[in-house]
Amino acid sequence: MRVVIAGGGIGGLTAAMALHAKGIDVQVYEAVTELQPLGVGINVLPHAMAQLHRLDLMDQLLPLGVATAELCFFNRHGQLIWREPRGLAAGYPVPQLSVHRGQFHMALLAETRRRLGDDAVRTGHALRSFVDDGRRVRVELVDRRTDTAVTDEADVLVGADGIHSTVRSAFHPDEGLPQWSGNVLWRAVTRWQPFLTGRSMFMAGHRPHKFVAYPLTEVGDDGKVTVNWIAELDRTDVGLAQREDWNRRGDLADFLPRFDDWVFDWLDIPAMCRAAEATFEFPMVDRDPLPRWTHGRVTLLGDAAHPMYPIGSNGASQAIIDALTLADELSTGGVEDALLRYDDDRRPKTAQIVRSNRQHGPERVLDLAEDRAPGGFDDVADVFAPGELEGIAATYRQTAGFDLRSVEATERR
């Protein structure tokens, strides 16, 4: 069996290694001429780390980041609403990893080429079209270095080509641009003093006035860590930037005045933001869940299949799980049936996460605290009923598939 993967991102590279481990021939085509360590921080949740453990990637990936120990929710006054252990600290057999996306991506690229060969990932090749004749899929690409056409054939085409997927648009030509939530995210990394436990991820504020931060490194010789942070605001008053500007340099003046008084006894948020070398601006977008991903011998994976709001740290994690599930199904033979089983397994689960994230997933506790106690509180027990906070957190863990029982089951495979 031979599989062509359009897209050399986190999902596409993980799929390539997973398929290779099953004895399947794989070719990855990536439109970008040179893959670079772009982006800021991501969280890889335990259910995805368990899948990466199956691929023997822990030695390559764990040194790149921090094993997150807890997730904390604070109101806009810096008062603690809810704290829960994460990863190893919560009893999971694998960690939750906070890591720079670019470094994580480059490690996957290096390992894919080491295992499959340098030519297994061909950059500068953009998918232009494909034809599925029922027996094989013929793909046509353009070599961006020479502007010449390139063709290939495979038993399966996997569209792992991101939120602006060419493969997805072939089946849904009228879908248009992703749907904007009305919110904009400003993201950056800053060298800063450790806060809370030094391995804590926190979310503060409420919709649509929120701040998120977590460390990506251990403490360095300078006594500091690299902190990934995200500021989120409603910007429906100014509208959505054009598609080509969706990953553009941001301006502190556009958001920092709204956080000027967010100086807590455990972190000075405005000062940390001002210390960033560069800030990037992103619209918060997703797409409606599809009724199907698979069409004959062609299917979707990752953001091409289920772009979702960056809530609950699920984007990269779900792409990784897609990849291992796809490899498991294709290894059983019967290409079209295997792709349908993959579709039947992953599509409903990710659709539920997309919908849950639109309702703010576990971050609902921030909105509830603001609605019930906008001026703050003396005791959080006066704001939430017994068990309410744990119930919200547990429901999202179950929805997203990283409850302890599910992760332990993956580790036993």
Question: Residue 245 has what pLDDT?
Answer: 47
The model's pLDDT over 377-400, given as tens digits with 9 standing for 90+, comes to 999 999 999 999 999 888 888 887
How large is the greatest C-alpha to C-alpha distance in the chain, in angstroms? Answer: 67
The model's pLDDT over 242-285, given as tens digits with 9 standing for 90+, comes to 543 456 889 999 999 999 999 999 999 999 999 999 999 988 89
Question: Residue 244 has what pLDDT?
Answer: 39
Q: Which residues of the chain have pLDDT under 50?
A: 243-245
Question: Residue 398 has what pLDDT?
Answer: 83
Percentage of the chain lying above the pLDDT 90 cut:
83
- Distant-in-sequence, close-in-space partners of 222: CB < 8 Å, separation ≥ 6: 191
CA distance 202 to 270: 16
- Distant-in-sequence, close-in-space partners of 200: CB < 8 Å, separation ≥ 6: 68, 69, 70, 71, 72, 214, 215
CA distance 398 to 225: 32
CA distance 396 to 329: 26
CA distance 97 to 66: 6
Q: Model's pTM, two decimal places?
A: 0.94
Question: Residue 313 has what pLDDT?
Answer: 73
Question: Residue 22 has what pLDDT?
Answer: 98
| Complete DSSP assignment for 253-268 | GGTGGGGTT-EETTEE
CA distances from residue 211 to 71, 76, 77, 277 in whole angstroms, order as listed: 13, 9, 12, 18
For residue 345, the Cα-to-chain-centroid distance in whole angstroms is: 19
Question: Residue 83 has what pLDDT?
Answer: 96
Question: Residue 393 has what pLDDT?
Answer: 87
Domains and CATH numbers, the chain: 2-38+102-177+288-360 (3.50.50.60)
